[in-house]
Every structure is written in structure tokens, then in C-alpha cells.
Amino acid sequence: MAVRALARVNLAAIERNVARLARDAQGAAVCAVVKADGYGHGMVGAARAALRGGATWLAVATALEARDLRAAGFGDDVPILILGALSDEELPIALDAGADLAVWTIEMVQALVASGRPVRVHVKLDSGLGRLGTRDPEQADAVAEAVAAAEHLQLAGAWTHFATADERGDAFMGEQLARFKAWAEPLRARHPGLLLHAANSAATLRDPATHFDLVRAGVAIYGLDPFGEDPAARELEPALELVSYVAAVKACAAEQSAGYGRRFVAGRDTLLATAPIGYGDGYRRGLSNHAEALLHGRRIPLVGTVSMDNVTFDVGAAGLGPRLGDDIVLIGAQGGERVTAEDLARWLGTINYEVTCGISARVPRVHHRDGEAVEE
């Protein structure tokens, strides 16, 4: 490897994942959510791959993300929806980007009217997540009618977001769905052509009743399982692999230690390999003494404390024969073995989203299509 740590991202996998989700969406348009630098995969490359795979919309969380997509060459023919709240300072950036905006208060509508700029608006009902949006359907109606009455504004969409779609078998998603339908369907009857959308990745895979006109797929387009289990069980293909290499190999006798705090003390004579990756790269300290990686197609245990720039693995298994420069796969497949983002999430007590989003900017992202290099 030419660098200490590398995230290789297969854009062809993103294309295939989007095509697979479009199949499940059963005619609903697919909006690819590429916020947070494409969940750590690289926003621009992921967005291009998603559109090639059949997505027709893109979604982000911030005005700056929308601006960066436009600057990268995504024209006005690609609608970009900003899902998050916008400050007074961010609003002009969002308007300059020609993005669709989310609103849920009369004050937000008034700010758009005062701008004098044309903008497509999506009114958000908080059907139960408890974050952005209004819980009051009557207020949501008032906001929608104010948008429809405004000269420069277009009432483009009505939407909500699920709190428990990734918890299969729960009843709350059904309650949210019923609240949303009770508000949104009469609103669309008054405003034909209104776009209704509610489904995230988990809802898209779980219940066709959530699909409406558009599904907003995020985690699944990257081949991550929205239920936190196994992407393959969902016919999803992980797009990202995280790789480092063997930078040092040294004998470790019984009772010798490795890492800060001596949290690993060898119980037998063994061999340690150091990989130059750590929590400065987003490979979390919480994995200390509690993770595995792949070397020569075999699983190797992480031993000792994950430091900012280095981590050690016990490679003393018979016949492994580590050599300087050998790849160590921290997320991905090697031989017949694999370590998934879902594995790391279980070891950390978190979710796969956080694993890939947490890979730091210090780790270069290299995009390819099934092994063939692509121009950035």
C-alpha cells in the first residue's frame, strides 16, 4: 500500500444497491441520501453512482452540501432536497443551489417569501420522531396553504420520517404511517401532483405501504444493512473496505504487553503485527481488545489499546507468516472471510452508520468500479 490507511469504495456496488432498492420501491422514485460525505463514502462519487443506478433525486442535510453538489456538476435537472434546518446565514446558500427545502412553520414560509426567490417546498409533519417538523396536522395544513398561496413558492412535497422503521415487528411505524396518511392524502387531494414521501432505507425494505411517490434511501445504497444485521441477507453489497498494512512484526513473549495502559498482556509466546491506523482515522478506541481484522484471509484479534495512529493484532496463529506490507483488512472481505461495518458496530455498541461516517478525512477515499479505477 502507498498510504497508511485507505478506504476503497466500489461505485459499481452503489449502483447495484440503488437498482435493487428501486426494484423494491415498486415504481416510487428513489432519492439517494448522500449527506455526511455520502455516509463516509465520498459524496460526489456516491451521488454519481446512485444516479447511474436509477436514483432520480439526491438528498443532503445542509446548504453547504447542496452547494458542493451543484459545484461538482449536478445540474438543475437533478433535484436536491435539503432535509435539515437552515439558519438565516445558510438560507441564501440553499437558495443559490436551487435546492428543494423543508419547512414546518409559518415563520419559515415568511422567510422564503421575503427572499423573493423561487423555491420548491416540502412541508414536514412530525408523525412521531420528535425532532424537526410540526406535530400538529392543522399547523402543517396552514403551512402548506401559505406555501401554495405565495407567489414565488411551489408546494412540491409533504413528508415525514420514521423513528423505528429499523425495528422490525414494532407497532410504532404503523402508527406514524397512519398519522401521516391521515394528513397527507387529504392535502394531496386539494393539491394534485403533491409528492408524498416517508420511507427511509429500512421502511423501503420493510413495508411497501410506506413508499408513496418517493423513497429516501441512505444507508442501504452503500450496502449497509438498515437493520444492523447482515447486508447479504438483504441482497445488499457493501461498497466500502477499510485497509491498512503490516508496518511492524515483533515477537511478544508471555507476560509482555502491548499498547497504552498494558491492557493486553500475552498469556503465551506469540507474534504481534502493528497496523498504522487508529482513532485519528476513525478506527475507534472502543475496539480495544474487542475486534478482529483479516490477514491472509484469516481472522486476527485486535489486542491492546487502539491508539491515535496505531493498533496491534495477535498474528501468532500457526502458519500465518505475516510480512511487512501485507494488507490488513479492517472492513471488507479477504479470502473466504469478511468483517462488516455491522460487526464493528456490534463490537462498539453502535450502528453501522456511525462506523462509516466516522472514518476521518485523514483516510483517503479511492473510488473504483469493480476494481477498475475511475477518474475523480
Assess whether 35 carries a catalytic annotation: yes
Q: Considering 35, 39, 124, 283, which one is annotated as catalytic? A: 35
127 closest CA partner among 154, 169, 164, 102: 164
327 closest CA partner among 346, 345, 306, 313: 313
Dist. CA 88–CA 332, nearest whole Å: 42
φ, ψ for residue 25 (rounded to 5)? -70, -15
Characterize the bridge pairing of strands 270-275 and 248-252. Answer: antiparallel
DSSP conformation class of 314: E
Assess whether 250 carries a catalytic annotation: no
48 closest CA partner among 269, 369, 370, 345: 369
Let me know if 78 is exposed, middle or buried by CB neighbors in 10 A (0-12, 13-18, 19+): middle
DSSP conformation class of 134: B
Dist. CA 187–CA 266, nearest whole Å: 66
Q: Considering 181, 222, 250, 260, which one is annotated as catalytic? A: 260
Characterise 169 by phi-psi region: left (phi > 0), alpha (psi -120 to 50), beta (else). left
Query: CB under 8 Å to 374, separation ≥6 — which residues?
Result: 11, 45, 367, 368
Active site residues: 35, 260
